[in-house]
């Protein structure tokens, strides 16, 4: 409970039900984790429960189909009313304010048509599974991952349905972003789920029984095939109907500035952005001149950085060797200039998978 509560506090909704100047204790921890709003929220968003460490969330998916979202819309309206009623007389109650902001943001996602154009949700199941993989150190943890893998096909089917309905309304993600997903992101996910993930329990020191390993490998294959099917759907049924450009637009920009950043005037932010950009360009020129004294301006700096960035390994088996070369250069620089004490020997723990 203590670990979960501390995560909640860090995630900014951790003061729900408490004054903004509360003192952390085991009692507060128990009350926080058992708070009715959080309990219901984690039922609606089990993946967020996973990232926070809530028990009982690691095997379920939030569904995104139009039918499920309509049910969620009703629940969000009720939660908004409850929070507004609870906040009466306590307008500065930080926990209630933040809870209401969270609910309001999800209501806005529903009303703004995000689910009809949000290609990012195609990566959502994969990122949650990766989070679980990073935490998995026992057989039950890998069993929970297996259950989640078997549910990925339904989540991706919801995503494909939402994008299809978005296209019917004249919405949709930016073509450039979808093309990037098709060329880079999704093929790597298909390969990882099908070829790499089945080997990870053993590589992380968890020895599954033969039957458990077979079941886990089957779930990996199922998830890999689901992502391959999703890739095919995006390529054949979504991408051909998209257009270039993916700007938020003035209305969405104003909403996010006001409700997520507390700003109502875009002009001040734009001016600040231009100032920061100019400073960043000046710093880039200064850094480039440390590498090549002949650099005279920003265009020269960009050309120099692009040339250096193009020096990349062309094959997977060269990446690790290049990493060790660069690491050796960094360690030598730290030692020569006595920037900080280093234990000896200091080795990289990276290894091919």
Per-residue pLDDT of the chain (353 residues; tens, 9 = 90+): 445 544 544 444 443 333 344 344 455 445 555 667 778 888 888 998 888 877 788 999 999 888 999 999 999 999 899 888 877 766 556 667 778 888 888 899 888 888 888 888 999 999 999 999 998 999 999 999 999 999 999 999 999 999 999 999 888 888 998 999 999 999 999 999 999 999 999 988 899 999 999 999 999 999 999 999 999 999 999 999 988 876 677 888 888 888 777 777 888 888 999 999 999 999 999 999 999 999 999 999 999 999 888 766 667 677 778 888 888 888 888 878 877 776 665 555 555 54
Q: Is-cis flag, bond preceding 122, omega within 30?
A: no
The three-state secondary structure class of 327 is: helix
Residue 345: cis peptide before it, omega within 30 degrees of 0: yes
Residue 266 pLDDT:
84
141 and 135 Cβ atoms separated by less than 8 Å: yes
Residue 71 has which token pair?
Answer: 């049910």
* Token representation of residue 4: 């979960």
For residues 119 and 230, give the distance between their C-alpha atoms in angstroms, rounded to a whole number: 11
Each residue's pLDDT tens digit, 66-112: 899 999 999 999 989 988 887 776 655 666 777 888 888 889 988 88
Phi, psi of 244 (to 5 degrees): -75, 160
**The predicted structure's pLDDT at residue 99:** 80
As a residue count, the chain comes to 353
Give the dihedral sign, CA 122/128/130/133: negative
The pLDDT of residue 332 is: 83
**pLDDT for the residue numbered 87:** 73
- Is-contact 73 44, C-beta < 8 A? no
Residues 6+ apart with CB under 8 A from 212: 139, 142, 143
- d(CA 150, CA 331) in angstroms, rounded, equals 44
CB hemisphere CA count around 94 (13 angstroms) = 10
16: Cβ contacts below 8 Å, ≥ 6 apart: 32, 35, 37, 38, 95, 96, 98, 99
In angstroms, the Cα distances linking 332 to 287, 323, 328, 336 are: 20, 14, 6, 6
| Rounded distance between C-alpha atoms, residue 144 and residue 162, angstroms | 27
The pLDDT value given to residue 308: 85
| pLDDT per residue as tens digits for the range 167-182 | 998 888 889 989 999 9
In this prediction, residue 324 carries a pLDDT of 81
């Amino acid at each position: 409970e203590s670990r979960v509560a501390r995560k909640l506090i860090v995630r900014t909704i951790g003061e729900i039900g408490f004054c903004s100047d509360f003192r952390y204790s085991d009692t507060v921890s128990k009350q926080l984790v058992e708070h009715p709003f959080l309990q219901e929220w984690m039922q609606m968003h089990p993946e967020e429960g996973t990232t926070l460490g809530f028990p009982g969330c690691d095997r379920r998916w939030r569904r995104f189909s139009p039918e499920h979202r309509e049910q969620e819309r009703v629940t969000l309206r009720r939660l908004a009313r409850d929070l507004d009623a609870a906040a009466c007389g306590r307008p500065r109650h930080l926990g209630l304010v933040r809870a209401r902001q969270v609910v309001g943001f999800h209501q806005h996602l529903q009303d703004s048509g995000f689910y009809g154009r949000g290609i990012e949700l195609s990566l959502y199941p994969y990122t949650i599974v990766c989070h679980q993989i990073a935490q998995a150190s026992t057989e039950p943890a890998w069993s929970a991952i297996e259950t989640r893998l078997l549910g990925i096909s339904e989540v991706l089917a919801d995503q494909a349905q939402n994008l299809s309905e978005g296209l019917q309304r004249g919405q949709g993600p930016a073509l450039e972003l979808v093309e990037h997903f098709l060329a880079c992101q999704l093929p790597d996910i298909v390969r990882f789920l099908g070829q790499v993930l089945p080997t990870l329990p053993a590589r992380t020191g968890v020895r599954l029984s033969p039957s458990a390993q077979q079941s886990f490998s089957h779930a990996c294959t199922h998830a890999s095939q689901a992502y391959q099917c999703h890739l095919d759907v995006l390529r054949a049924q979504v991408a051909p109907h998209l257009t270039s450009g993916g700007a938020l637009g003035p209305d969405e920009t104003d909403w996010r500035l006001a409700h997520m950043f507390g700003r109502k005037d875009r002009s001040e932010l734009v001016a600040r952005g231009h100032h920061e950009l100019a400073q960043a360009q000046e710093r880039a020129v200064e850094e480039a001149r440390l590498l090549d004294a002949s650099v005279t301006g920003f265009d020269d700096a960009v050309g120099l950085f692009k040339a250096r960035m193009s020096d990349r390994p062309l094959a997977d088996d060269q990446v690790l060797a290049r990493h060790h070369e660069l690491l050796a250069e960094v360690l030598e620089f730290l030692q020569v200039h006595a920037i900080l004490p280093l234990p000896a020997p200091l080795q990289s723990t990276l290894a091919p998978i």
